[in-house]
Amino acid sequence: AQKITQTQPGMFVQEKEAVTLDCTYDTSDQSYGLFWYKQPSSGEMIFLIYQGSYDEQNATEGRYSLNFQKARKSANLVISASQLGDSAMYFCAMSPTGGFKTIFGAGTRLFVKA
């Protein structure tokens, strides 16, 4: 069975510092994709970054990077130079390639302090 685990219910980070949000996963699929989403208090789900299981390089999108360690089944999100607007809920998710069904972790609430 597939499973996503986010062990940090809440995280605090000082503005302008970097923060790592943890995500581990379990799957028997050989090919899969990993996603990170941001959910502000408005409730919308904002796509941040994607990593394919066969991608050799870690994905990066602006201030977001994904630290993908396949052998350890981890896909941590790194946010550099945190901003006050980064305060939100962050969800890690996984989808089997071609399967189109995505499962989500429990989420981590990030608080950025001024």
List b or e across 51-67, with b for residues whose CB sees 16 or more CB atoms inside 10 angstroms: bebeeeeebeeeebbbb
Number of residues that bind another protein (CB under 8 A): 22
Q: Does 78 bind another protein (CB under 8 A)?
A: no
Length of the chain: 114
Token pair for residue 77?
């999100």
List all residues 6 or more positions away from 85 whose beta carbon is below 8 Å from its beta carbon: 112
Indicate the SS3 state at residue 105.
coil
Q: Does 108 bind another protein (CB under 8 A)?
A: no
Q: Which of 42, 71, 72, 114 binds another protein (CB under 8 A)?
A: 42
For the bound state, the minimum distance from the C-beta of residue 114 to another protein, rounded and expressed in Å, comes to: 25
Q: Does 54 bind another protein (CB under 8 A)?
A: no
Q: Does 85 bind another protein (CB under 8 A)?
A: no
Binding site for another protein (CB under 8 A): 33, 35, 37, 42-45, 47, 50, 52, 91, 95, 97-98, 100-107
